[in-house]
Structure 1
Amino acid sequence: MWKQYLCAVLVGVVFAIFELPFWMAVVLLLIITLWIIGEFLYLVYGTTNMKKVEKFIIAKQKEPIYRYVYSQGFGTLQDQLIAIDKILQKYKQPHIHQYYLAIQQLLSDNFDEALKVANQIGKEPFMSYTKALILVEMGNIEEAKSFKFEKLWMHEAIFAMIAAKKKDKVSFDLHSSKAIAASRGIQRLSLIYSFKALEI
């Protein structure tokens, strides 16, 4: 994104030197701003270029959520728990706070507490997805399979986790590949890291 910032600075310099109309500078700076925002949103939510996303999260590790994703790929379980602690300190919105608290409890094998917290997320599809993940770890496979998801990656991710629980490598490879293919941006990278960490 440094190119867009450089463009904005150059626009300011050129307009100052040549004393061009102020309104033209405003229009050009607005276009550059929209370009910066658009590229950021595409990188976070839309791209399938994982090299760019990985480079982005490595550069943004001071932000707790990106630090958590980074720790999924390059850190230990303890690193993930520490990153989640930082998220919980920073984000007080109920659904975000409860989601990461449930994940923290899940990673700590506190399944009953994780499920209790997941029931308080209150925002779909994250509540159902989190509950399904926890239920898989608890061995309640049929209940986990009962959830319906509009997002294909969520459906496939749950079935990949079920396959991992059953040590069914063929099914795991199939569903994890489908989940990754159906996801974009940081979510795709998070899934790649999560699935890679599983030993089937």
Structure 2
Amino acid sequence: MNAVVHFLILLVVLSAAAFILFLLRAPFWLILLVIVAVYMAVTTVPTFHTVYKSQNLRAIDRFLLRNYRKPIFNYAYNIGHGTDEEIRNSLRTIIDKSSRGDARHVYSALLGVHSGDGDEVLAHAGKINPGPLRSYYYAYGTALNGDLDEAGRIAGKITDEWMKHTIYAVIAKKQGNPEEFRKEAKYAEDASVGIQHYLLHHNFRKMAESFNLSQEGSSMMQLVENTAVELKDGRRGLILGVRDNEEIVQYDVELGDGEIITVFAEEVRRPV
């Protein structure tokens, strides 16, 4: 659904609310208050749900694509579609822009995770305020350094289920146990919501590739529906539909601003 359709729906809803209140002879201040409340609900609730509550990977992916220029969403989108270096660079951008010390240490620990540097993870974990995240990165860094028993012991005390089972999945990965990895990864994904769910799903997908596993719901970067692509003119978008007319292939692509266009296969530079 593009921006124009969203605007028209919002306009209809607000007009209907105002008209009903007018018929009921409601005071002007009440009409204004209801219009503002409806506007906030229509514009913010769906976004809040997608970012914090949804497990709809496609909806989250589309949200991230529309907000790709914001550092935190750029990082999340790169987890699903970027290279390892793009992921690390996006984290460095977040760290450079972080004014709070705790946030800097959290993202620095995360950078250590994506660099596979257990010592770096542990160095920053020790500077994070006491709580689940501190224990999570202590366990993660410990697992990366090969002390799997200690990592499991730390993870067992973490109350957040997605954190606990993520560490168990990492331990299974280090042990070369694909079945245990698959089980723990699913537990972690099922316990997570919003962008965290998206991050875990794609991180586990990448980890699973070393086992030649196929995580449920994952997709390889092919020119099929729900593939993010970069066009030859530099624009980026998400393939919503594929039109295969004998030898001519076209894609319906939703751009970052919500506009939907149809392009020939030759106009696509690469999947991203």
Q: Shorter-chain TM-score: what band?
A: 0.7 to 0.9
Aligned to 2:204: 195
Aligned to 1:87: 94
Structure whose CA Rg is larger: 2
User: 1:102 aligns to what SS in structure 2?
Assistant: helix
Match of 1:43 among 50, 53, 70: 50
- Residue ranges of structure 2 left out of the alignment (5+ in a row): 212-272
User: 1:192 aligns to what SS in structure 2?
Assistant: helix
Give the whole-Å Cα distance in 2 for the aligned partners of 1:5 and 1:136: 49
How far off its partner does 1:191 sit? 0.3
**1:176 corresponds to 2:162:** no
1:90-109 alignment to 2 at 5 Å? 90-109=97-116
Give the whole-Å Cα distance in 2 for the aligned partners of 1:179 and 1:113: 24
The root-mean-square deviation of aligned C-alpha atoms, in Å, is 2.5
1:38-187 alignment to 2 at 5 Å? 38-147=45-154, 148-187=157-196
Richer in strand (by share): 2
User: 1:165 aligns to what SS in structure 2?
Assistant: helix
How far off its partner does 1:89 sit? 2.0
Contact 2:118 2:143 in 1 (8 A): no
1:165-198 C-alpha deviation (Å, 9 max, x unpaired): 1110010011101111111111111001111111
Distance 1:81-1:40 versus aligned 2 partners, 3 A rule = same
Contact 1:156 1:175 in 2 (8 A): yes
Superposition TM-score, scaled by structure 1 size: 0.88
How far off its partner does 1:26 sit? 2.8
1:22-70 C-alpha deviation (Å, 9 max, x unpaired): 5403322223213433222211111111110111111111111111111
Superposition TM-score, scaled by structure 2 size: 0.66
How far off its partner does 1:106 sit? 3.1
1:137-191 C-alpha deviation (Å, 9 max, x unpaired): 1101111112212111111111001011111001001110111111111111100
Give the whole-Å Cα distance in 2 for the aligned partners of 1:76 and 1:114: 21
User: 1:149 aligns to what SS in structure 2?
Assistant: coil
Contact 1:58 1:70 in 2 (8 A): yes
1:53-100 C-alpha deviation (Å, 9 max, x unpaired): 111111111111111111111111110111011111222122211111
Give the whole-Å Cα distance in 2 for the aligned partners of 1:109 and 1:191: 16
How far off its partner does 1:129 sit? 0.8
Match of 1:26 among 30, 33, 40: 33
Identity %: 25
User: 2:169 aligns to what SS in structure 1?
Assistant: helix
Give the whole-Å Cα distance in 2 for the aligned partners of 1:43 and 1:137: 32
- Amino acid corresponding to residue 24 of structure 1 in structure 2: I
Which moves more between the two structures, 181-190 or 147-156? 147-156
Richer in helix (by share): 1
- Amino acid corresponding to residue 145 of structure 1 in structure 2: G
Distance 1:82-1:137 versus aligned 2 partners, 3 A rule = same
Contact 2:57 2:198 in 1 (8 A): yes
Which moves more between the two structures, 148-157 or 108-117? 108-117
